[in-house]
Structure 1
Amino acid sequence: MKNKDDEKNNDAGNRGIIEVKGKAAPKKILILIILLIAALFVIIILFKVLSREQVVQQTPLEKSDETLVTNTNNGVSLTTMMKNIEEKEKLDAANRRKAQEEQEQKQADNAPSAPASQKADQTAVNVIANGTPQTASGDPNQPQPLPKSVRQLMGDTMVKIDNQEPDEKNQERDDLQGSQYADGKVSPVLNRRYLLSAGTALSCVLKTKIVTSYPGITMCQLTRDVWSDNGEVLLARKGALLIGEQNKVMTQGVARVFVNWTTLKDENVNVRIGALGTDSLGASGLPAWVDNHFGQRFGGALLLSLLGDGLDILKNSTQQTGSNSNITYENTSDATKEMAKTTLDNTINIPPTAYINQGTVLSVIVPRNIDFSSVYELQ
């Protein structure tokens, strides 16, 4: 009875617990085997896929390697190619020479012997036709210059040898030889009695002041009588008027004024002389006092530069004192510098002005022969 009571108590205590009875171990082994087979199958598939990708990737690499090998082989065979080209050129030249010799032999058999000059001409024609220069000895077995195609492959260049001396030495020789002039002509001087010869110096005193700011007319009065070439006839009396013009602008560094004297007027006689003015010693140009306008050219720029420097000093002193002021002078300083630059650009090219006062003694040199026989006659 006691055992039955215990079993009942155990049944009452084990209520809610499901007991499964069967073969558990064989099922676990079966599941493990299935998993292993599946894993092996997956590994095989992955291996095949990876092997295919490797083949696909290696194929272009192998082709590129073949290309590289081909390029390398081409590079190695460059010398061979040049040799082949050179041999081909030599073979073609030999064939041309052989054909030319056969043709010459046929012509020699059919025609009488030609003179030596014609043979030389024929040799020159052969050289041009064959394209291969011959040496001085005429031996074709001697080494010949390489063709152009071979030189291009080898990277060689033909250097032109100039046996002439440099141009500087030739120029020096030309300078040592001196200048060459055309032959002069001799002609008789007719009627010297009324001739104002070239090279005659006319002394005069300036009547008008010259200021070169603008072009103007100038006048000068003769201080001496002007006589003919033989000294017999008075051509222009003292006090005759020379009229000229000044129309050249002065440039920096030039201290002389260019005046062109055009006309000599003596009462009712006008002479077209077209002479140049000189100083009393015959130097070209008229000496003058020159105003370079230094203040006008640089004064404004210097003033603006000093103003800019003052603003810079004020700015630096304000910053050094540690003032809390927010006043800035950058714009004013920059504007001042720009104004100074603009002012200098506008005034730097002011031309100088030359002054020649009236009463200055000048000379006028006559550049050509002038015949007065058409207006003067001795009685």
Structure 2
Amino acid sequence: MMQRFVSDVGGRFNCLISEDIYSASNAVRLIPAGTEARGLYRTGTLKNGQGRLFLAITELRTPEPGRLVIPMVDSQAVGALGENGVAGWIDNHWLERIGNTLLLGTVQDFAAAASGSSPGKDRNTDYTENTRAATAEMAKTLLENSINIPPTMYLNQGDVIGLVTGADIDFSDVYRLRMR
């Protein structure tokens, strides 16, 4: 990865190909080291419980003079063993998802405890019932609004990912090969 990646906002990313890539016969260098792979990702594709994110590769740009742009069809980023998607550090936002609800619940518990320990209080009347009911409703609303916060994946600059093409790349317009 050429820059830090954060999945919260969809957009583009760039990777640097670190080794020369040769033809199947290993006779022709097809893609030189230093070629830039460019790709796209969409926000909202990482769901709770998932550990991998789909990244689409759209083109390669060689560093050579003449700078070739090679369109990539049906290509994606993969893990070190070729598994689909990339893995990174995932923030599940647990504090944001349940923290406010726990805080309101704690305040409600303190209010209930304080109301029960007041000296000289009429034991037959619950003076905190409306406050506790309103707090419970606020906690329910906060939980409903925050429980579905999607996780965020982070990849650091320099992290290594693999690329897989879904279709053969035609180099016939780029390379003219002759038999020796």
**Paired residue for 1:295, among 75, 95, 109?**
95
Long gaps (5+) in structure 1: 1-205
- The structure-2 alpha-carbon separation of the partners of 1:258 and 1:248, relative to structure 1 and needing over 3 Å to count, comes to farther
Long gaps (5+) in structure 2: none
- The structure-2 alpha-carbon separation of the partners of 1:367 and 1:327, relative to structure 1 and needing over 3 Å to count, comes to closer
Residue 60 of structure 2 corresponds to 264
Q: What's the TM-score, normalizing by structure 1?
A: 0.43
| Alpha-carbon distance, 1:337 to partner | 1.0
Which secondary structure does the structure 2 equivalent of 1:355 belong to? strand
- The CA RMSD measured in Å over matched residues stands at 1.9
How far, CA to CA, are the matches of 2:169 and 2:126 in structure 1?
Answer: 80
Q: Which has the higher strand share?
A: 2
Letter in 2 for 1:235: L
How far, CA to CA, are the matches of 2:59 and 2:8 in structure 1?
Answer: 23
Residue 228 of structure 1 corresponds to 23
Q: Which has the higher helix share?
A: 1
Matching of residue 278 in structure 1 with residue 78 in structure 2: yes
Matching of residue 339 in structure 1 with residue 138 in structure 2: yes
Instruction: Give the count of matched residue pairs.
Output: 172
Residue 251 of structure 1 corresponds to 47
Q: How does 1:52-201 map to 2 (within 5 A)?
A: none
Residue 116 of structure 2 corresponds to 316
Which secondary structure does the structure 2 equivalent of 1:220 belong to? strand
The answer to whether the 8 Å contact 1:301/1:341 transfers is yes
| Alpha-carbon distance, 1:229 to partner | 2.5
How far, CA to CA, are the matches of 1:230 and 1:324 in structure 2?
Answer: 92
How far, CA to CA, are the matches of 2:69 and 2:37 in structure 1?
Answer: 10
| Alpha-carbon distance, 1:356 to partner | 0.6
Greater radius of gyration (CA): 1
The answer to whether the 8 Å contact 1:280/1:362 transfers is yes
Letter in 2 for 1:242: A
Identity of aligned residues (%): 34
Which secondary structure does the structure 2 equivalent of 1:341 belong to? helix
Which secondary structure does the structure 2 equivalent of 1:344 belong to? helix
